Structure 1
Amino acid sequence: MMKHLFAGLCLTLCAGVSSAAAPIEKIQNMLAKPKMLCGRFDQSKQLSGMKKPLLSNGRFCVVNGKGVLWRTLQPFPSTLRLTRDEIVQFQGERVATRLDAKQEPTVRMINSVLFSLLSGDLSQLQSLFEVDGSADAKSWRVALKAREPALAKAIGDISLEGGSYVNNITLSEASGDKTNIVFSAIQTGETAMLAEEAALF
């Protein structure tokens, strides 16, 4: 759950900001920085020892100052809401799981990194990640490797690709499992979020 949250949610909006050792200024200038960003995700998770990947898709929204909403639509409906203080998983309208950042060290660490990204605070990110990256005229690529064992265990290694927005995230775990998330149909502004999504904030 932590791996999915961090890779799929936090970095959706702000991956370029995390490229501390990469060509930061160029990537930041390329990235759009809307207050609200919604779109479609298609996720493929390849488990070590299994031939066929696990496929899922749905919608995501990132709202600056509020948090992130991750709605899996296929194969099984599920919704995650991440804010500064907690991570909540919904099954329908019912709260299935609630993790308090004050009580869960991993949640607190991941939330701290998320909101460092949202606020553009690179100092903490530089201490937590080894970063490599490159950029050309229209696209960029960034690789993040966690320095802290606890963070590395929680999220693995992350690579990102994009242009004006993050287009692709790949998460590689020590176990050999690999998750790839592709983002598309990006919309920004007040009309990007559906009414039922806004109600969950």
Structure 2
Amino acid sequence: MRRLIAALLCWFAFGLPAHAQDANLLQHVLDELGSHTSVRAAFTQSRENPALTQPQFSRGELLFVVGHGMLWQVTEPYRESIALTGARTLRIDEQGQLQSVRGGDRGVAQVSQMLQSMLSGKPDDALRQFAVEAQGTPAHWTLRFTPRQERMARVLRRIELDGDQFLQGISVELASGESTTIRFAHTRDAGPLSALEKRALDVPR
């Protein structure tokens, strides 16, 4: 889960592209992402590391609600449900009880806030650490992020996002050779939330 959060952190810290065509496509992407106030999707995560003989896989379900946060439900190879909001991180046990996750709360809260900004179509203008290359069309786009700062480039090689009306995938390549790929499927507007989902994300009932 920590590695998934670390990958997601990379979504947000980017600057505006240099070319007007890129800027127009990027703005369209942000507008489209921001038009969906609540989204559900299945996700599959694959992590490759030169030190490992085989990739590591996990899969599950994601719920995102603008202004409230995310609910990550890992189903394979283990089961875990984590609610990330701007103010707290909660683990949901098998009985549906919410338990506060201690340690690193401040960092996780910052990640959650950044993710909400990105998926709301409102990235923080202050986070201009990446050069952005936008390719494709509004119906099928790709955004490639390259670190501007040498210090970050020594750790992170690049990030690539792709999608249509929804975000469909993210790929993160580290300078060490490690890579993480997250693919989303069956992405759709969330529809009604369950009582537990509302409670976990502090959505009014």
* Shorter-chain TM-score tier: 0.7 to 0.9
Q: 2:45: which partner in 1?
A: 43
**In structure 2, C-alpha distance between the alignment counterparts of 1:153 and 1:60, rounded to whole Å:** 31
Q: Secondary structure of the residue that 1:58 maps to in structure 2?
A: strand
Alignment partner of 1:97 out of 94, 101, 105:
101
* Amino acid across the alignment from 1:68: M
* Amino acid across the alignment from 2:197: E
Q: Does 1:62 align with 2:67?
A: no
Deviation readout 1:43-62 (Å, 9 max, x if unpaired): 11112222311111100011
How far did 1:27 drift? Answer: 2.9
TM-score by length of 1: 0.75
Identity, in percent, stands at 22
Alignment partner of 1:20 out of 13, 16, 19:
16
Q: 2:122: which partner in 1?
A: 120
TM-score by length of 2: 0.74
Matched residues, number: 190
User: Where do 5+ consecutive residues of structure 2 fail to align?
Assistant: none
* Amino acid across the alignment from 1:135: G
How far did 1:80 drift? Answer: 2.1
Q: Does 1:164 align with 2:169?
A: no
**In structure 1, C-alpha distance between the alignment counterparts of 2:89 and 2:151, rounded to whole Å:** 18
Deviation readout 1:98-144 (Å, 9 max, x if unpaired): 3332xxxx44653453344236145123x232212212252000122
**In structure 2, C-alpha distance between the alignment counterparts of 1:152 and 1:87, rounded to whole Å:** 29
**In structure 2, C-alpha distance between the alignment counterparts of 1:54 and 1:119, rounded to whole Å:** 31
Q: Over aligned residues, Cα RMSD in angstroms?
A: 3.3
**In structure 2, C-alpha distance between the alignment counterparts of 1:5 and 1:177, rounded to whole Å:** 15
Deviation readout 1:22-66 (Å, 9 max, x if unpaired): 332343455472111011001111122223111111000110000
User: Where do 5+ consecutive residues of structure 1 fail to align?
Assistant: none
Q: For the pair shown, which has the larger CA radius of gyration, 1 or 2? A: 2
**In structure 1, C-alpha distance between the alignment counterparts of 2:145 and 2:58, rounded to whole Å:** 24
How far did 1:147 drift? Answer: 4.5
**In structure 1, C-alpha distance between the alignment counterparts of 2:200 and 2:83, rounded to whole Å:** 8
Runs of 4+ that moved beyond 4 A: 8-11, 29-32, 146-156
